[in-house]
Structure 1
């Protein structure tokens, strides 16, 4: 009682009860004890302590001399508890996720751990995986097997991360898609020590990808059919307008009909390019503008006495911008062909298109008599030039009219 009372200040109640039991054992002729207990410090902290009791040799008869040693093992116990908790957390995670997790001892060529999901995904027992670390390859689809084996062989030789998608055929006859990733772990000497692998059943994802792919293919077919029909309808309208030009001798009517034909032609050429493209959202500016310019000029009787200088870089433009751009180019070139040239020699039109950062820069210039300096694109009575100004605003661009050695239009707009 005196011993216990003297130790009450530094040991917890549970520890005192433990000591009491040990004192009884000592009184019953036991001469040694070793165990763990809780120690309470003077500032109130609780420590984990390893206690050794031993009767000093020579005093076994009256137990008047007992040696007690206390070792602070708080840090060790804390580390042990953290390790146990970490192992428990890992176990709960590995045993309750759908992904297969396995750990391979590369040096000894054996499995150290295989999660229970292995049996669900591969329909093979975890025991078989421990007995033969490559057992999982037995269910790989014959068309994928050599490829997969080569990939994972490379991971060992190259000591690198690898990933592979492959098919398996399970014992129940199911075909599954697997996404398999393997990560190397190196020892303190930099030598390959282990591989951590994670395998996941991605069959549903693959099925969905195939469905999306099929829908996209159907959409592409429908888009091509729509573009084809629109292109044919525009060609029909062009032909009807051309017939009307042959049935009238009114020059103003003929001019108006030809302008309408050219506007429709600029849109028809776009659909022609869309039909020949794998991308319905972007169009090559070179592939679109060059034939458009040729088509617009071809309807004018003075086409043979005018030199066309095209300096067009090849960059892509969003198809939404191409419709208004085509009409703008058509109107400006049509205006030049109608009014710029009075002489029959040295007539030239220069069209330049380039990409500057995220902007398109297009210049159309002639060396003709020049447009009147009184012309203002915002107030002009010309339908064609008013249409140009309106379409420039539609694409959030800007256009500048320069009177210099003829007439020059500079168009800029964002490509985004």
Structure 2
């Protein structure tokens, strides 16, 4: 546990008693270290004056007044907390002390405990503020030191892209004098790519706050530099952009190297398959023009008989002009330049005295067996000079021509006879993509072109001034020295890996193989070097990617783990340990993935793991976590197979704690069941109450002799029974969401038919399917059908032994249609539902309007009656 250091204060006062009392009280009661000083002069001479956390100064002292001492100290240090201790008038001293720079002031006298407690309070308050300010200053200093020491460009900007801060590397590389608040935006640095930058920032969100983008930057010299930026968007708690940070680096060199590498790889493939000198030179010339960004080029070869140079092939728009320039350089005193056998590069300043349209020229010799067999002539009217960084690649392209010529001639000669062993060896060595060198002792006596290119030397002579030993790093030097010291009889092929340095200091990671051979009759070492720099970088990138993955996985709040095919844990993020803490499970005992679940669930967990390994498909399930059984945790586990090289190699799982969700669902289900019981009881009571009303009407009928009144009461009973039947049907169904209308109509038809004691055979056909209606709709339609059936029973089947009543109900998205019909005598002529005075038919018309339905009644004398009610679906109708 980190604790704050003990507070140390200096008390300056000329009263020994006061000094001692305060020192004892603060030390014993408040654990504050107190050093004392008897005068202001003594305080000013102390070298450790500003090592204290707080100063307490008496206002009245004989040598130096407390306010004077305060002002002297404030001139030297404006931050240290200072408390004025005074016995004079409180308000006067307070104003004077505050104006002089005091943080607090305390008046002497009164209760000592209260005085000293107040003093301790002010000390702690001032020291907390002082230490916080010092810590903030130190953090800012460290942050700026780190940012300024970085080799990358660093800048911060507001949500609109206005640059708020840049480091010195940023200002230096982007060639702009940046100052905070000068109005420069990040977008203005790349004016043609504002949309791309804005789109990249727009796609960032709190889950994926960073993006990477590569942008071309136009430098003052007219050159284009490539910058790679990692932009990170910082969001506030409302997910609005609070600030944007960007870290960039110059990748122009890498871009150029990648471009050159692509050209050289394509050239290597082309040269490996070409079979004629013309095609080989054509491929090489095109590659040289592409690497150097020249417009025009030509290849001149020396005639073996006449020793004269003649044009073999050329390419580009200004071939005639280039031919004139080459001819001029080939004769008179200029021929001396080409006779040296070294590559010649000429800039605009070199060409001012020649009448030429070109501003940059390159003449690169074609060497074959240490002889100049030709020249590559390259020209540009756009370049001021041939850049240094492309000269080696250009010379590397041309250096292969001699090898290609040899290979082609060798292929032609192989059709007639075999070359001698030495020639075959040299051919293989010269065309090998791996660097090959022969060392006699520590001296290099042979290098193939790949080795020359690798070490950036023209010939083995380049090692005379710098021994081969110096091109190796420390580990390889020890390894190679051990090989050279070993006895001849003990020598055998040996392999090693390490870093090598080129002539320019560039580091290469290579695989080395040494083979003992005999060269020119002496013992020597054949050294084969394979450049594995790219592979090494990929391995390092893979390691870094793995590290980032682990860090990101640790930041996830959900538990995440990986296990091998046997279920043994190979990785756990912090979320797993957080889950184990919740369930009081020891971390040290967890080695298998199955131990994350309770013992009762482990068999099911193992079954799922086995299924995952067989099907290689993701699976999921809910499990009880291992640990505390009293307050067990439930989590949802998602498992996915880990497949490497097409083979199942393990399992990756993520756990989501659903304990609270499960408890909430159980509580919600309990509430639903309680409400279901209450609603069923309510509908039961309503049905009982309606039956009581119906029974009371039946009792009343026994005292009435008027047939009209009796009929009216009987109709009312029938209507009440119809509504009661709805409530009875509802509380007897499994779901209260709607009434199964078919069951209801069956019971209603039986009740109406039984209500009319008759010997006639009246049948009912009901077809409503599985339609469920809401309570309001069911009551209304039920009353309509009740009135229609009562009307049919009374009037439709008079003097008839039998009859048929048909009821159909259909519903779709457009609404519902209820069709009622009987095969009775039909309605009387001139029947009009709007003018009828019968209470039953009036109720039918009113009830149809109540559900916004359209009522249509058709009838023919002797052919029965049909009533159709078309109504829209109501809430709850299914």
TM-score, normalised relative to structure 1: 0.76
Deviation of 1:330 after TM superposition, in Å, equals 0.7
Task: Name the CA shift for 1:377/1:162 in 2 (closer, same or farther; >3 Å).
Answer: farther
SS of 1:279's partner is coil
* Number of residue-to-residue matches in the alignment: 371
Higher mean Cα deviation, 153-162 or 357-366? Answer: 357-366
Correspondence for 1:94: 553
Counterparts in 2 of 1:58-73, with a 5 A limit? Answer: 58-60=461-463, 67-68=503-504
SS of 2:225's partner is coil
| CA distance in structure 1 between the partners assigned to 2:780 and 2:839 by the alignment | 15
| CA distance in structure 2 between the partners assigned to 1:268 and 1:204 by the alignment | 43
SS of 1:44's partner is strand
Correspondence for 1:400: 856
Deviation of 1:208 after TM superposition, in Å, equals 0.8
Deviation of 1:327 after TM superposition, in Å, equals 0.9
SS of 1:307's partner is strand
* 1:136 aligned residue (593, 596, 600): 596
Correspondence for 2:807: 351
* 2:782 aligned residue (326, 330, 341): 326
Alpha carbons 1:353, 1:360 under 8 Å: kept? yes
**Aligned pair 1:170/2:636, yes or no?**
no
Task: Name the CA shift for 1:395/1:184 in 2 (closer, same or farther; >3 Å).
Answer: farther
| CA distance in structure 2 between the partners assigned to 1:384 and 1:92 by the alignment | 80
Task: Name the CA shift for 1:109/1:207 in 2 (closer, same or farther; >3 Å).
Answer: closer
Q: Please provide the CA RMSD for this pair.
A: 3.8
Task: Name the CA shift for 1:197/1:379 in 2 (closer, same or farther; >3 Å).
Answer: farther
Counterparts in 2 of 1:2-81, with a 5 A limit? Answer: 42-45=223-226, 46-48=252-254, 57-60=460-463, 67-68=503-504
Alpha carbons 2:738, 2:772 under 8 Å: kept? yes
Alpha carbons 1:363, 1:408 under 8 Å: kept? yes
Higher mean Cα deviation, 225-234 or 383-392? Answer: 383-392
Correspondence for 2:612: 155
Alpha carbons 1:306, 1:349 under 8 Å: kept? no
SS of 1:180's partner is strand
Deviation of 1:42 after TM superposition, in Å, equals 4.0
Q: Report which of the two structures shows the higher radius of gyration computed on alpha carbons.
A: 2
Alpha carbons 1:315, 1:355 under 8 Å: kept? no
TM-score, normalised relative to structure 2: 0.38
* 1:312 aligned residue (762, 767, 773): 767
Counterparts in 2 of 1:401-416, with a 5 A limit? Answer: 401-404=857-860, 405-413=863-871, 414=873, 415=877
| CA distance in structure 1 between the partners assigned to 2:543 and 2:824 by the alignment | 88
Alpha carbons 2:624, 2:632 under 8 Å: kept? yes
| CA distance in structure 1 between the partners assigned to 2:716 and 2:629 by the alignment | 68
Task: Name the CA shift for 1:353/1:67 in 2 (closer, same or farther; >3 Å).
Answer: same
Deviations 1:19-59 (A, max 9, x none): xxxxxxxxxxxxxxxxxxxxx99432323369976566434
Task: Name the CA shift for 1:198/1:271 in 2 (closer, same or farther; >3 Å).
Answer: same
Deviation of 1:280 after TM superposition, in Å, equals 0.5
Deviations 1:176-229 (A, max 9, x none): 11111112344454x434432111111111111111111112111211221121
**Aligned pair 1:362/2:812, yes or no?**
no
Q: Which has the higher contact order (CA 8 A, sep 6+)?
A: 1
| CA distance in structure 1 between the partners assigned to 2:253 and 2:605 by the alignment | 54
Correspondence for 2:571: 113
Deviations 1:235-256 (A, max 9, x none): 1001001111221111221121
Deviation of 1:367 after TM superposition, in Å, equals 2.0
| CA distance in structure 1 between the partners assigned to 2:539 and 2:661 by the alignment | 42
Deviations 1:62-116 (A, max 9, x none): 57xx855799x99x9899889957963x55553333321123343x654342111
SS of 2:836's partner is coil
Alpha carbons 2:825, 2:864 under 8 Å: kept? yes
Alpha carbons 1:290, 1:310 under 8 Å: kept? no
Higher mean Cα deviation, 213-222 or 173-182? Answer: 173-182
Alpha carbons 2:741, 2:773 under 8 Å: kept? no
Alpha carbons 2:810, 2:817 under 8 Å: kept? yes
| CA distance in structure 2 between the partners assigned to 1:171 and 1:299 by the alignment | 66
Deviation of 1:353 after TM superposition, in Å, equals 3.8
Deviation of 1:315 after TM superposition, in Å, equals 0.7
Correspondence for 1:103: 562
Correspondence for 1:182: 639
| CA distance in structure 1 between the partners assigned to 2:752 and 2:730 by the alignment | 19
Deviation of 1:375 after TM superposition, in Å, equals 3.1
Deviation of 1:162 after TM superposition, in Å, equals 1.9
| CA distance in structure 1 between the partners assigned to 2:546 and 2:464 by the alignment | 49
* 1:256 aligned residue (699, 704, 712): 712
| CA distance in structure 1 between the partners assigned to 2:650 and 2:845 by the alignment | 69
